[in-house]
A and B are shown apart, each in its own frame.
Chain A
Amino acid sequence: MSIQRSTVRKVLGLKEKWCHKSILGYSDTETVKLDFDNASFKTVRYWARRAMRWFKLGGFLILKSSANHYHVVFNRCVSWSENMHVLAWASLLSHNKRAQRYALMQCIKESSTLRVSPKKQKPSPRIVYRYGKQGGRILDFLHYRKMIKNIIRKVNVCEPCMS
């Protein structure tokens, strides 16, 4: 069977990357999450370790979202009030203005969110450091992260960008 040349009007190529303009993130109230912007890796690791020891959070995971921008996820399951306690403590003592702004925004929303999908030129956050126990909330976070990435992959295949 041959296809007439005139019937093919446009090729919806899978080579072209779909522009993912909305942002997908992981959101909950029981996991302590920190967002350090404009901070070096050593500073982030120092504050993550200090918070983990002070609040007995078990362990943590550091993700690099872009240059000098890091996310921290802690292992122990906490209540929303304790979550805000840790977030406010770490952001105030570290004197990081962006972290303080992040803490305020999570208070307004009443749930904390970390980005999982790519944003503009920034790729998805990558895991760069693990410390302590990883079997609690970190495991759940990684599970949801995988699920969100699967959704992004499926959507990219189904709806390729033509712009």
Chain B
Amino acid sequence: MTKRIAVYGVFETLAPVVQRYWKRRIDGVLQRYWKKTTRLKKVTMSGRYEFHGRGRDLYKAVVRAHRVMPRGYVDVSAEKFLEHPEKYGQEGSWIEREVVS
């Protein structure tokens, strides 16, 4: 049976600032769109990793997860996470905040 560990909490990370713009469609309706700018702002988010796999991989994944913050709810094998951590998360730091398990 595979071993499963949850790493969760609240973290701070840099997210792109979104900008609103309007564009008239062919049918004449003024449509609102959002685009991501290159500017970044610091945001506080909550997220969660669900790692499963071998003990050694789990240990490495937990250590890696201290620097790489999850993109929402991430359920991934520890081995795959270690291969491409940037695919499942982004740079940031965990902060102490009340969370429910």
Contacts and interface: CB of A to CB of B under 8 A. Distances in A.
A159 B93 CA distance: 14
A21 B99 contact: no
Contacts of A21: 9, 93-96
Contacts of B5: 24-27, 144, 148, 151
A154 interface: yes
A111 B50 contact: yes
Interface in B77-101: 93-96, 98-101
A105 interface: yes
Contacts of A144: 3-5
Contacts of A24: 5-7, 62
Interface stretch (A1-9, A53-61, A82-90, A113-121): A113-121
Interface residues of B, number: 26
Q: Which range contains the number of A residues in contact with the other chain?
A: 20 to 34
B100 A101 contact: yes
Interface string B1-34: 1011111110100000000000000000000000
A41 B58 CA distance: 34
B72 to A, nearest CB: 12
A128 interface: no
9 contacts: A23-B7, A26-B5, A27-B50, A35-B101, A101-B100, A102-B101, A151-B58, A155-B62, A159-B63
Interface of B: 1, 3-9, 11, 50, 55, 58-59, 62-63, 65-66, 73, 93-96, 98-101
Nearest 9 Cβ contacts at the A-B interface: A21-B94, A27-B6, A25-B6, A22-B94, A22-B9, A113-B6, A151-B59, A23-B9, A115-B101
Given A26-B6, A154-B59, 16 more contacts: A21-B9, A21-B93, A21-B95, A23-B6, A23-B9, A25-B6, A25-B7, A27-B50, A105-B101, A109-B73, A119-B99, A120-B96, A151-B62, A155-B62, A155-B63, A159-B66
